Each structure stands twice: as structure tokens, then as C-alpha cells.
Amino acid sequence: MTTTRREFLTASAIAGAALVSPAALAASTTKATIPMPKLQHHVFFWLKNPDSSADRAKLIAGVKSLAAIETVRSFHVGIPASTEKREVVDNSYHVSELLGFDDVAGQDAYQVHPLHKKFVDEHQHLWSKVVVYDALAVE
Amino acid sequence: MTTTRREFLTASAIAGAALVSPAALAASTTKATIPMPKLQHHVFFWLKNPDSSADRAKLIAGVKSLAAIETVRSFHVGIPASTEKREVVDNSYHVSELLGFDDVAGQDAYQVHPLHKKFVDEHQHLWSKVVVYDALAVE
């Protein structure tokens, strides 16, 4: 039964992928997973004033404006989740931004896009630290 | 006549493209549209022997086995992308694992899943450092 359900889900995932992007399809696995764009750009922000909910809301709104950039294929803005506080888990950041691109060129285009430059200009006074990870899918 | 034929061929090409690659249509929209699971669990691994391609391949294969866990909704295994080396970019890790879950409960179930425990048991000798970020989507 489990196998049958997995097969069904895999077929659904593949059908769904066809609506999205060939790069996402290429990055999909054999299981029931949502296909992900190949390049994942994950940014973690630490606020200067972590106790200011206004600052946090401002940063979140700013990050959301980035979803409109043409080469952005997937988008997730987050805050630390209430998962178990293990030693390896860094939950000290305040806001996260996870953007998916088809390739390095898509991310490069995003970096110099006017909407991204505007976001940095208007929000960089809010953060004290930023860490970025760019991960390219392996086959 | 030639023009007419060209028009016909162009129309056919467009129709064909839509059938073969709906991605082209999706890509022409202004926004990022792949729906992302709410909880994103991003793990970065630093290998004990970064120059060992065998160790890296073993770890990547191990990470891939995690996609079979039932609560995993999206899956991406990566290596540092060749994006611009800015000061804020940490490209010192060797392998990354990005898993999407519907909620914190899904991630909790994953942590205690036999396949995850087996992965840790069989691969933890390969890494010297692990950093985990759990990000929950904001509305």
C-alpha cells in the first residue's frame, strides 16, 4: 500500500513539475517530493533591534518584495521554527529568505536587479549581520 | 504563400512549445510560483576530509536516502554554487541538505525516523561540523 501511494505521489510530483520548470524537474528525486529549483540561495538576517517587532515586520515585508524578481522560481521567508533546540541548530537569526533559481545566472541577475538593490538600500540599516549560503543541486 | 506558411509554422511552433514545455509559459509570469513547504530544514556539512571525493560521494548518497522519509515534502542536496564570492557568503561547507516539511511535527517525525538514525550512524564519522537552520514560513 505504501509503495502504491509513493508511486502515485511520484507521478503527481512529475505532473506538477511539468507546470513549473524543466530545471525543477531535473532536480526532483525519485520520491514523492516537490521538485526544487537547482540553485537555492538562503540568507539569514540578524536584526540590530531583535526586540522591535516593527523592524522585523519591515524586513519581512522587504524580503517579500523580492519574490517579484523575474528569475526567482521559488520563495520562502521564515523565522526560526520551534524545533528541538539541539546543539547543532542555529536559531539565533531573526528572519530568513530562501530563494530558488534555475541556475547561477538567475541568481546573478537577481543580485543586480533594481528591486534587490532597492531592498538592500532601504533595509540594510535594520540588520547587524547577514549570512548567505548558495547551494547548487547535485545530480 | 510563403508568409502564410511561415505564419502557420510559427503558430505550430508556439502550440508545440506549449505542449512540450508548459515551463515556458510559467517562466513568462512575473512571479515565483513553486509552492514551498512551510518548514525548511537546512543542514550544512563540513567534511573531515574535504579532499576525499569518495567521502563526499558517500555523504551525498546518504543524504539522498533521506528523501524516502514519509514526512519529507521537498528535497535538495547541494554543494557550494559558483556564485560571486562576497564577504557575506559562506561557501566553506561541503555538502548541504534542504528538506521541506509541512510543519514542525513533520520535522520531529523525521528526526526519530529509522532511516534518519541509520543515516547519522553510518555517516557521522565523515563530518567535522554540522550547522542546522529550521525556518518556518511567515504569512
- Check: CB of residue B104 under 8 Å from CB of residue B136: yes
Among B63, B74, B28, residue whose Cα is nearest residue A37: B74
- Check: CB of residue A41 under 8 Å from CB of residue B54: no
| B89 CB within 8 Å of a chain A CB | yes
Greater confidence, B72 or B19? B72
Contacts of B96 in chain A (CB under 8 A): 40, 133, 135
Nearest CA in chain A to B77: A137
Between A and B, how many CB-CB pairs are < 8 A? 179
Contacts of B73 in chain A (CB under 8 A): 33-34
Q: What is the DSSP letter of B57?
A: H
**pLDDT tens, residue by residue, B9-47:** 444 444 444 343 444 344 444 564 678 999 999 999 999
CB contact under 8 A, A35 and B37: no
Contacts of B72 in chain A (CB under 8 A): 31, 33
ipTM over 0.90: no
Confidence of residue B84 (pLDDT cuts 50, 70, 90): confident
Which residues numbered 5-24 in B keep a CB inside 8 Å of some CB on A?
Answer: 21-23
| Cα-Cα end-to-end distance for chain A | 29
Structure-block grid coordinates of residue B61:
548518497
Contacts of B133 in chain A (CB under 8 A): 42, 44, 80, 89-91, 93, 96
User: Do strands B39-47 and A127-137 pair parallel, antiparallel, or not at all (unpaired)?
Assistant: unpaired
Contacts of A81 in chain B (CB under 8 A): 39, 104, 107, 134-136
Nearest CA in chain B to A80: B135
Greater confidence, B38 or A16? B38
Nearest CA in chain A to B82: A104
Q: How far is A52 from chain B (nearest CA, A)?
A: 16
- Check: CB of residue B87 under 8 Å from CB of residue A130: no
Nearest Cβ partner of A98 from B30, B40, B91?
Answer: B40
CB contact under 8 A, A34 and B86: no
pLDDT at B33 (0 to 100)? 60
Instruction: Name the residue with cell 550544512.
Output: B44
**pLDDT tens, residue by residue, A113-136:** 999 999 999 999 999 999 999 999
- Check: CB of residue B115 under 8 Å from CB of residue B69: yes
- Cα–Cα distances in angstroms (integers) from residue B120 to residues A29, B103, B108, B117, in the given order: 21, 22, 15, 5
**pLDDT tens, residue by residue, A21-72:** 444 444 444 456 788 999 999 999 999 999 999 999 999 999 999 999 999 9
